[in-house]
Chains A and B, each alone.
Chain A
Amino acid sequence: TQLLEQSPQFLSIQEGENLTVYCNSSSVFSSLQWYRQEPGEGPVLLVTVVTGGEVKKLKRLTFQFGDARKDSSLHITAAQPGDTGLYLCAYRNTGGFKTIFGAGTRLFVKA
């Protein structure tokens, strides 16, 4: 199993600030996924990045896949309290049926 390292583990910021969280590995991936998990809920898929260097935007969220397809980042512009949650990066195993998650970055946005 390839290891996904997410940083920081925890982030507490004020509403309106920008932030970036990271997902790193020494392995190459065909794709990486980002999920958000709110307290008491299951993870919800935000995006899948597939091509090295790819940038995807989802409203105030910008996802980037590293050129070498070993890492990814998530940038949030003007964070809002509703962005609070656990952000998980993940990949699918070779057979495509198992999702392997990182430990996540827990984000808290204060009003």
Chain B
Amino acid sequence: GAGVSQTPSNKVTEKGKYVELRCDPISGHTALYWYRQSLGQGPEFLIYFQGTGAADDSGLPNDRFFAVRPEGSVSTLKIQRTERGDSAMYLCASSLRGGVPGTEAFFGQGTRLTVV
């Protein structure tokens, strides 16, 4: 596709359940980022991949959150034992390369996660 694609667009899950959120970056983009946006706030950085490896996962809030990008393209954000406080919009972005000044990151439409 032409842009960053995230699925599902909406996810409602029960407290304690496991969820997976998927991100398809723009073809050829080696850098991929996950952000979380709570209501009334700006996006907060979670994790950055350059290729297959997580170059910086300092934004992941705790060990219930994990992300993978096994083939350097599609990425999955995994949340175990979900809590109501995990409810937020989860945004994915990609760029041609990370760490290059002037390289724009393009965002997907996000996955709205609601934990009930």
Q: Is the CB of B107 within 8 A of A43?
A: yes
The smallest beta-carbon distance between A33 and chain B, in angstroms, is 9
The smallest beta-carbon distance between B71 and chain A, in angstroms, is 20
Q: Is the CB of A88 within 8 A of B110?
A: no
B4, B31, B50, B101, most chain A CB atoms within 10 A:
B101
* Closest B residue to A98 using CB positions: B45
Q: How many B residues face the partner with a CB closer than 8 A?
A: 28
**Which A residues lie within 8 Å of B102 (CB)?**
48
| Listed stretches B11-19, B74-82, B91-99; interface member | B91-99
In B21-53, the 8 Å CB interface with A consists of 31, 33, 40-45, 48, 50
Q: Is the CB of B43 within 8 A of A43?
A: yes
**A42 to B56 Cα, complex, angstroms:** 21
**Which B residues lie within 8 Å of A104 (CB)?**
41-42
Q: Is the CB of A96 within 8 A of B101?
A: yes
**A100 to B48 Cα, complex, angstroms:** 13
Contact mask for chain A residues 15-51; partner B; CB cutoff 8 A; 1 contact, 0 none:
0000000000000000100000000111111001000
> Which listed residue, B59, B93, B109, touches A41 by the CB 8 Å rule?
B109
Q: Is the CB of B107 within 8 A of A97?
A: no
A-B contact count (CB 8 A): 59
Q: Is the CB of A97 within 8 A of B110?
A: no
**Which A residues lie within 8 Å of B59 (CB)?**
98
> Which listed residue, A40, A95, A97, touches B109 by the CB 8 Å rule?
A40
**Which A residues lie within 8 Å of B107 (CB)?**
42-44
Q: Is the CB of A103 within 8 A of B40?
A: yes
Q: Is the CB of A96 within 8 A of B42?
A: no
* Closest B residue to A92 using CB positions: B101
**A9 to B40 Cα, complex, angstroms:** 9
Q: Is the CB of B4 within 8 A of A96?
A: no
User: B: which residues have CB within 8 A of A?
Assistant: 4, 31, 33, 40-45, 48, 50, 55-56, 59, 91, 93, 98-105, 107-110
User: A: which residues have CB within 8 A of B?
Assistant: 9, 31, 40-45, 48, 88, 90, 92, 95-104
